Structure 1
Amino acid sequence: MNFDPHNHPYPSKRMPAYAKNGMVATSQPLAAQAGRDILNQGGNAVDAAIATAACLTVVEPCSNGIGGDAFAIVWLDGDLYGLNGSGPSPASMTIDAVKQRGYDTMPTTGLIPVTVPGAPASWASLSKRFGKLPLLDVLQPAITLAEEGFAVTPTISRQWKTSYKRFQAAHTGDEFSAWFETFSLNQRAPEPGEIWRSPNHAHTLRLIGETNAKAFYSGELADQIDAFFKKHHGFLRKEDLAAFEPEWVDPIHTNYKGYDVWEIPPNGQGLIALMALNILENVEINEKENVDTYHKQIEALKLAFTDGQAYITDENHMSVPTQSLLDKSYAAKRAQEIGETAQLPTVGKPTASGTVYLCTADSEGNMVSFIQSNYMGFGSGLVVPGTGISLQNRGHSFSLDHNHDNALAPNKRPYHTIIPGFLTKDQQAVGPFGVMGGFMQPQGHVQVVMNTVDFLLHPQAALDSPRWQWTEGNKILLEPSFPRHIAEALARKGHDVTIANDVMSFGRGQIIWKDDEKESYVGGTESRTDSHIATL
């Protein structure tokens, strides 16, 4: 990457990190250090990614868990691979079955929105295909952390408290009792620095490692999950777990100003980032800190997001093919809709044809972009008793409208928010990147790519730059550090601007770029949380 390490409009922020033999970047120091330790033990970037991801289920439970989903993009020996580790809806779950329980929309928490967890199978699949070390060895750092405990970091404590307070008010049923037993310290959320342990979590991780995740999908853990859902009249069953396999996929991409930007194909929303970049290639972009630059970025993202929310779902159920949405001529037509003022976005008509993020790199040039999540913090609010398995609520994304592309149906993957990203140039790896955080993610991807490609910012500067977030209509949320004069100018262009009270809703990102000329890696980590880069 040809960036100036001193090119940073916000000099109070950190400089990038450099490393010769490997790098692990994620949102929690202990998890990043665990990944580096696995590299030191002879593991590769894939092993390090799995170890880091497993540790994050322990040290950042307010963002992900064993019962969540995962996606990965892997650069190994000069080739790019994609893994879709998102689970489908249970075979017995239909729109009519949900409506018979009194719901007009999918509930946010509880038993109904729980889909098949994909993370454990994703770890096993990555390990089997590309890992160097046994899965149990790779999971051992997470097992140790869960058994011996760790000191809770400040950002995690804050998020934990927010979820605990919300769940305490809303979750009074017996099915939620194991969540409070698992995630309480003296009937409250832990304070920063307090030690939290989860021996049940450790036992489950050990079983996953010893059986390459078979215990989770067809063995004793599957039996416990099945018994829990039967007891409380949920939909998920052992047969749903046994039928699941992560899917190896070909990543999709677009070329943006000479760089290929890669995402996982739908059901993930990475397609939105690619559509927005396609639109932005058709408009003039000059300096970064300019109201017209931000206006065009926002308008392009609105158009792409509106199409994405109309069409993205399980790819087998999309009424418009992915390649039609990525068509450059369609992007050019959408770009013509961007005017001088903010416009309410409408769905286009192409021609038919939430979370933790981490990235790793090793001494052989292999790199992994990995993301996993329970969705909306602690997910469903459910823990399978005796296991430490905190379950996701991805089914909340489904529509109960039979005519919507993302309509609920049995054995169907929902629209998914978590997306790993990867950048290449001239068929050579530049590196992995990602910005977690619900519907902020494709918006963060667009901003990071443009900060890198258009404005030549180094990885730390690309992440530190103040972010914007489109929410709906013409509503824009800006970070507290966003330049005030540009915020006022955006308002004059018709954007409904709100300055956020904090930075928690603007995502948390990580970047590792490979510098072939210098034979080293350069990385950036999120300044909005307890992030860390561990290097070799």
Structure 2
Amino acid sequence: MDYTYRYSSQRAPVFARHVVATSHPLAAQAGLDMMRRGGNAVDAAVATAMALTVLEPTSNGIGADNFALVWTGGGLHGLNASGRAPHALKRERYAGMQQIPYYGWDGVTTPGAVSGWVALAREFGRLPMTTLAEPAVHYAKSGAIVPPEIGFYWNRAARAYSRQNQPAWFDTFTMDGRAPSVGESVRLPDHAHTLAAIAETEGKAFYEGVLAEKIEQAAIAGGGDLRAEDLAHHRADWVRPIHIDYHGWRLHEIPPNGQGIVALIALGILKNFNMASLDPDSAEHLHLSIEAMKLAFADGHRYVADPDAMDIDAALLLDEDYLAERARLIDRTRAQDYGHGTPKMGGTVLLTAADDEGTMVTLIQSCYTGFGSGVVVPDTGIALQNRGCCFTLERGHPNEVGPGKRPYHTIIPAFVTRTAPDDREQPVMAFGVMGGFMQPQGHAQVLMRMADHDMNPQTALDAPRWQVEKGLRVSIEPGFDETVYERLRELGHELRVHERRNASFGRGQAIYKLDDGYCAGSDLRCDGQAVGF
């Protein structure tokens, strides 16, 4: 592995036997503290996730969803803790709308993050949940200082919401109506009480007790459909991850309703080209990668939904013959806008943690857009997600909004393994790149840089990125040679070059397994870091 600095960076790779990497330094330290106290990487992940609801509420919250991939005991386990649309929801609610509104109760689905914490702690953790919640409760009570990136998104949210429509958000997350400035300390006492109650009851207060009642009361008062019954019926599901092999590495993702399959499709298409022979910063490499990602999203947006509503088996989208067929659609001389294929029938936070016993975790958690719907349950600190906005209103589509359905989900953890000479699967890396529809694009870009060009995780995260949008539009970061931008435009890409690298291109974390310990990296596009001992 190459440990030279190919790109300008604000981070250095961290080498240790116990590691946590995430987007807020204090949250990473919270996880590390659990391992110092006898916990394992799963305990660290849960403590970090709970702390992030307090330290980075701009990207997640108690009313969020989460997913996780856990390597332990020689195997990989997937957790889908995403929530469903309310069972009382009526399709007529959206009559006359072109899309589901981002703010208000229309896009609120059952929050699943708490169930994810509980499931992980029960199945693989060692420490009691009251211990895991201690750092989060501490910072909620005593306050935490706002860092630059979080301060930016906090101010943006305050401009987007209105006190008239989101009064509880302003009461909870502002200081006399204004967002906190960078360097100010913020206390969230309602969060402290709620997190303590969740920990003491192992989630029952949230799904069956007083907090469930408060959520229902807020929904009734605000015209929402979410009820205590939805919370009581919610369960986090253990699932079998899906994967694809790419140049000796096996990338694992959570199956639909998550969009992780988009990254797998893109890599499966790119296996039909000799990508390792190309400079990863060249126009040819970027053109092929962008075209493959557009093909992958065309299929993802057509087919990915609640698995109970999908009209094909997800495995068909990963069939090698089908992917080769899709690869043949790519023209090396021009950019295209693609439709979906027809297979043969037959604001987010991310953390990674690893310990000296070989347990490795990737966990991702989000309210979807920043603070989510803007709906905050009074006196609880619970900001409810707007994940329902990922449903479509297209009649007959597998992802059409409907009661009790899980929507297409953007947040996706990732994990890499490889096959040892004795045919046993071995862990390689826990990683992810958070950030809406950028996530599968970030997964593919980071993995190719490491698998094909031997970059260390920090360098792979430091590298400039691109992001496909609608049609021929592509956003791209500075850092590539000017001739690359010129050539991409000649090929027909409608390019928008950003002035600086920023969080819209994803915020990644990665822990790579060494023979004795780990090498970890943390994205410079956020306030976080990798820490270890």
Q: Could you say which TM-score interval applies, normalised by the shorter chain?
A: over 0.9
Q: Find 1:146's aligned residue among 140, 143, 161.
A: 140
Show the counterpart of 1:62.
58
Counterpart CA distance in 1 for 2:282 and 2:389 is 38
Q: Specify the alignment match of 1:229 in structure 2.
A: 219
Deviation at 1:103, TM superposition (A): 3.0
Aligned to 1:436: 434
Give the whole-Å Cα distance in 1 for the aligned partners of 2:313 and 2:346. Answer: 6
Q: Which residue in 2 is equivalent to 1:394? A: 387
Following the alignment from structure 1 to structure 2, what is the Cα–Cα distance between the partners of residues 347 and 354?
28
Q: Give the TM-score of the pair, scaled to structure 2.
A: 0.97
Residue equivalent to 1:209:
199
For 1:145 and 1:489, the matched residues in 2 are separated by 50
Percent identical? 48
- Please list, as runs of the form range in 1=range in 2, the aligned pairs for 1:503-518 lying within 5 A after superposition: 503-516=502-515
CA distance in 1, matches of 2:499, 2:374: 26
Question: CA deviation digits over 1:99-139, x for unaligned, max 9?
Answer: 2xx53421111011100000001100111111000011101
Distance 1:13 1:385, change over 3 A: closer
Unaligned runs of 5+ in 1: none
Distance 2:323 2:290 in 1: 15
* SS of 1:454 mapped into structure 2: helix
Q: Are the counterparts in 1 of residues 281 and 480 from structure 2 also a CA contact under 8 Å? A: no
Matched, 1:159 2:153: yes
Q: Partners of 2:52 and 2:349 in 1: how far apart?
A: 7
Query: SS state of the match for residue 527, structure 1?
Result: coil
Is 2:303 the counterpart of 1:284?
A: no
Counterpart pick for 1:309 among 301, 315, 338: 301
Which of 20, 25, 32 is equivalent to 1:24?
20
1:325 equivalent among 304, 317, 321? 317
CA distance in 2, matches of 1:400, 1:496: 28
CA distance in 1, matches of 2:223, 2:181: 35
Structure 1 74/188 Cα, relative in aligned 2: closer, same or farther at 3 Å?
A: same
**Are the aligned partners of 1:354 and 1:418 in contact in 2 as well (CA < 8 Å)?**
no
How far the C-alpha of 1:354 sits from its partner, in A, is 5.3
Measured in 2, the distance between the counterparts of 1:29 and 1:60 equals: 11
The answer for the alignment partner of 1:5 in structure 2 is 3
Give the Cα–Cα distance (whole angstroms) in 2 for the partners of residues 161 and 138 of structure 1.
30
Query: Residue 522 of structure 1 corresponds to which residue in structure 2?
Result: 519
Distance 1:12 1:27, change over 3 A: closer
1:491-510 alignment, distance < 5 Å: 491-502=489-500, 503-510=502-509
**Equivalent position SS for 2:353:** strand
Q: Secondary structure at the match of 2:105?
A: coil
The code of the aligned residue for 1:163 comes to: A
Q: Which deviations, in whole Å up to 9, do the C-alpha atoms of 1:357-380 show, x marking residues without a partner? A: 000001101000000000111100
Distance 1:418 1:513 in 2: 21
Task: Give the 5 Å matches for 1:63-212.
Answer: 63-99=59-95, 103-168=97-162, 172-173=164-165, 176-212=166-202
Partners of 1:183 and 1:484 in 2: CA distance: 42
- Aligned pairs for 1:201-280 (under 5 A) are 201-280=191-270
Aligned-pair Cα RMSD in Å? 1.1
CA contact (8 A) 2:433 2:508 kept: yes
TM-score (norm 1): 0.96
Distance 1:94 1:484, change over 3 A: farther
Q: Which runs of 5+ in 2 are unaligned?
A: 420-424
2:350 to 354, 357, 377: 357
Whether contact under 8 Å (1:13, 1:461) holds in the other structure is no
Distance 1:12 1:408, change over 3 A: closer
Match of 2:464 in 1: 466
Partner of 2:373: 380
Deviations 1:475-527 (A, max 9, x none): 110113333221111111111111123413101000001112xx020011011
The whole-number CA distance in structure 2 between the counterparts of 1:297 and 1:399 is: 27
Structure 1 CA distance, aligned partners of 2:85 and 2:178? Answer: 32
Matches within 5 A, 1:333-372: 333-339=325-331, 340-353=333-346, 355-372=348-365
Conservation of the 8 A alpha-carbon contact between 1:467 and 1:482: no
Q: Residue 83 of structure 1 contacts residue 246 of structure 1 at CA under 8 Å; is this kept in 2?
A: yes
Query: What letter corresponds to residue 199 of structure 1 in structure 2?
Result: P
2:347–2:366: 8 Å Cα contact kept in structure 1? yes
**2:292 alignment partner in structure 1:** 300
Contact 1:400 1:408 (8 Å CA) reproduced: yes
How far 1:288 moved relative to its partner? 1.5
Q: Report how far residue 409 of structure 1 moved.
A: 1.1
Task: Quote the offset at 1:12 in angstroms.
Answer: 4.9
CA distance in 1, matches of 2:28, 2:288: 36
Q: For residue 159 of structure 2, what is the amino acid of its counterpart?
A: K
> Shift of the alpha carbon at 1:186?
2.6
SS of structure 2 residue aligned to 1:87: coil
Question: How far does the alpha carbon of each residue in 1:366-398 deviate from its partner, in whole angstroms, 9 at most, with x for none?
Answer: 000000000111100011001000110000111
**CA 1:346–1:103: 2 relative to 1, 3 Å:** closer
2-structure distance, mates of 1:322, 1:162:
37
- Report if aligned partners of 1:354, 1:439 keep a CA contact under 8 Å in 2: no
- Contact 2:55–2:144, Cα closer than 8 Å, also in 1: yes
Q: Deviations over 1:20-41 (max 9, x none)?
A: x200000000000000001100
- Give the letter for the 2:417 counterpart: T
- Whether the aligned pair in 2 keeps the contact of 1:110 and 1:382 (CA below 8 Å) is yes
Read off the aligned partner of 1:530 and give its amino acid letter.
D
Shift of 1:532: 1.1
